[in-house]
């Protein structure tokens, strides 16, 4: 799976490089991560035994600024996966013009097997091991799969102890009480909502006429589902890891959120007392959700969900990638042939890293913004980048083959990265 991620990312880079005004030197540079660190983290477990965990941190490219990317706690974490995700972050930060390069980190484990005490010792141990590799001007981690604000708080705390000074800007996604930004926890879903609204306005579509299915009802998926519901879209299906629910008449998303919180499971949502009789629904699998006859499909759970195997069965006209890498490169080609408009992760879910940037700016200036300020900056910045990518796709609409929004987003990112790399000298410059 990791190999697929990196291969897919490289294929997309190659495709975009044809159209981007960058030198061969720049594409050569982007083939290799700048620095990769593998560490062993010894942790004293609650029963007195010692367990050693393997962790990684990769800084892929820092041409445009200190590197930025999340820390993942997951059994599948490997150096390959972390390098691929760091590559991805490099493009995401450039696509939305953040002054950051790309990085990623992770520890190979199932965090659900650890007690809270063990998790805290592990998080602090990880920072002990990578402290010289990160820093507010060097590399700034954030939460990712199975890490959260509290873990970021422990990590910031540990880094501050090691450096002997309070350093909130070393990590983002912290609790608000420890220097986190207002609006960070809803930023990814909110940013994705603005991208979707901008694109639907370009297509002259009315929310009331559009049906939506959302795979993954977590932090990102539940926020966008709720915003779409409030804006008048008919959200007909949502799911979590245990399955989904579907109602052609549309689901009441605030109710779903409320019952999901109480029951911790999507399929319990409409099987509880009065709600059962209020909304008609069917239980569906995640595979069925992906192939529903809806206008808009939002994969917001995991990577590699739409592949060459099921791409032909997709009926949605628009796909917005809220998850990282939910559509493989093979599936891209099939969807393009079917005329599906796909809006890529490096733009759609960039609201999260954008508000992480806001958090870093606030930590460094010591001046904290209101929620309105955060949300209005997020809206204007992500809408501007979406417009630019849309114009780029229009500009190339007569190219043969026509370029997709994904390629347009990569061209956009690559132009910024290429310019920064080429401004340090190219073969043509030195030979002239």
Stretch that binds ligand NAD, among 1-9, 44-52, 123-131, 320-328 (CB under 6 A): 320-328
Binding residues for NAD(+): 188, 219
Among 81, 240, 295, 332, binds ligand NAD (CB under 6 A): 240
Specify whether the backbone of 92 is left (phi greater than 0), alpha (psi in -120 to 50) or beta: alpha
Among 302, 310, 317, 330, binds ligand NAD (CB under 6 A): 302
Structure tokens at 68: 């930025």
Please, are residues 380 and 97 in contact by the beta-carbon 8 Å criterion? no
Query: Counting contacts by CB under 6 A, is residue 239 touching ligand NAD?
Result: yes
Which x/- pattern over 189-228 shows residues binding ligand NAD (rule: CB under 6 A)? --------------------------xxxxxxx-------
User: Using CA atoms in the order 403, 406, 411, 416, what is the torsion angle rounded to 10 degrees?
Assistant: 160
Query: Counting contacts by CB under 6 A, is residue 352 touching ligand NAD?
Result: yes
> By rule CB under 6 A, what count of residues binds ligand NAD?
20
E runs forming strands in 31-100: 35-44, 50-61, 67-74
- Report strand pairing: 67-74 vs 101-108: parallel
Stretch that binds ligand NAD, among 20-28, 162-170, 295-303, 421-429 (CB under 6 A): 295-303
Closer to ligand NAD by Cβ: residue 269 or 403:
269
Question: CB of 93: closest distance to ligand NAD in angstroms?
Answer: 12
Among 241, 263, 264, 394, binds ligand NAD (CB under 6 A): 241
* Residue number, nearest CB to ligand NAD: 218
φ and ψ at residue 299, rounded to 5 degrees = -75, 120
Stretch that binds ligand NAD, among 162-170, 195-203, 316-324, 415-423 (CB under 6 A): 316-324
Closer to ligand NAD by Cβ: residue 106 or 418:
106
| Known catalytic residue at 315 | no
Query: Counting contacts by CB under 6 A, is residue 349 touching ligand NAD?
Result: yes
Query: Counting contacts by CB under 6 A, is residue 269 touching ligand NAD?
Result: no
**Separation of alpha carbons 40 and 56, rounded Å:** 9
Query: Counting contacts by CB under 6 A, is residue 147 touching ligand NAD?
Result: no
**Separation of alpha carbons 117 and 385, rounded Å:** 42
Please, are residues 116 and 44 in contact by the beta-carbon 8 Å criterion? no
Stretch that binds ligand NAD, among 39-47, 111-119, 317-325, 360-368 (CB under 6 A): 317-325
Question: Among residues 104, 174, 234, 260, which one is catalytic?
Answer: 104
Please, are residues 359 and 374 in contact by the beta-carbon 8 Å criterion? no
**Separation of alpha carbons 117 and 47, rounded Å:** 11
Dihedral sign of CA atoms 4, 9, 14, 15 in order? positive
Dihedral sign of CA atoms 53, 143, 414, 420 in order? negative
Residues β-bridged to residue 38: 56
Binding site residues, ligand NAD, CB under 6 A = 188, 215-221, 239-241, 286, 300-302, 322-324, 349, 352
Give the residue numbers annotated as catalytic, written as ranges: 104
């Amino acid at each position: 799976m990791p190999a697929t991620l990196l291969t897919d990312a490289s294929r997309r880079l190659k495709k975009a490089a044809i159209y981007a005004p960058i030198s061969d030197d720049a594409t050569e540079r982007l083939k290799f991560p700048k620095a990769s660190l593998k560490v062993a983290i010894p942790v004293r477990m609650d029963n007195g035994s010692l367990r050693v965990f393997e962790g990684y941190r990769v800084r892929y490219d820092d041409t445009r600024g200190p590197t930025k990317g999340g820390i993942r706690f997951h059994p599948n974490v490997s150096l390959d996966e972390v390098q691929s995700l760091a590559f991805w972050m490099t493009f995401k930060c450039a696509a939305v013009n953040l002054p950051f390069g790309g990085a990623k980190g992770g520890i190979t484990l199932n965090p659900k097997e650890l007690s809270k005490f063990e998790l805290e010792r592990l998080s602090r141990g990880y920072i002990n091991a990578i402290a010289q590799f990160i820093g507010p001007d060097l590399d700034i981690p954030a939460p990712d799969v199975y890490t959260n604000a509290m873990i970021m708080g422990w990590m910031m705390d540990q880094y501050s102890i090691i450096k002997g000074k309070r350093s909130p800007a070393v990590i983002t996604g912290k609790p608000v009480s420890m220097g986190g930004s207002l609006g960070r926890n809803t930023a990814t879903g909110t940013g994705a909502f603005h991208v979707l609204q901008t694109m639907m306005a370009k297509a002259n579509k009315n929310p009331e006429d559009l049906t939506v299915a959302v795979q993954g009802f977590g932090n990102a998926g539940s926020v966008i589902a709720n915003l779409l519901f409030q804006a008048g879209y008919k959200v007909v299906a949502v799911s979590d890891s245990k399955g989904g629910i579907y109602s052609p008449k549309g689901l009441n998303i605030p109710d779903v959120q409320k019952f999901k919180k109480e029951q911790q499971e999507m399929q319990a949502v409409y099987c509880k007392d009065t709600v059962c009789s209020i909304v008609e629904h069917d239980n569906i699998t995640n595979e069925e959700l992906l192939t529903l006859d809806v206008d808009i499909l939002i994969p917001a759970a995991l990577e590699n969900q739409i592949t060459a195997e099921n791409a032909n069965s997709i009926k949605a006209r628009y796909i917005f990638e809220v998850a990282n890498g939910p559509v493989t490169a093979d599936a891209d080609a099939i969807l393009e042939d079917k005329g599906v408009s796909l809006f890529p992760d490096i733009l759609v879910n960039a609201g999260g890293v954008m508000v992480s940037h806001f958090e870093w700016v606030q930590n460094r200036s010591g001046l904290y913004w209101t929620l309105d300020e955060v949300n209005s900056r997020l809206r204007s910045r992500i809408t501007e980048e979406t417009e630019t990518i849309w114009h780029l796709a229009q500009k190339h609409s007569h190219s043969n083959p026509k370029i997709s929004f994904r390629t347009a987003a990569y061209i956009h990112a690559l132009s910024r990265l290429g310019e920064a790399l080429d401004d340090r000298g190219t073969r043509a410059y030195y030979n002239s």
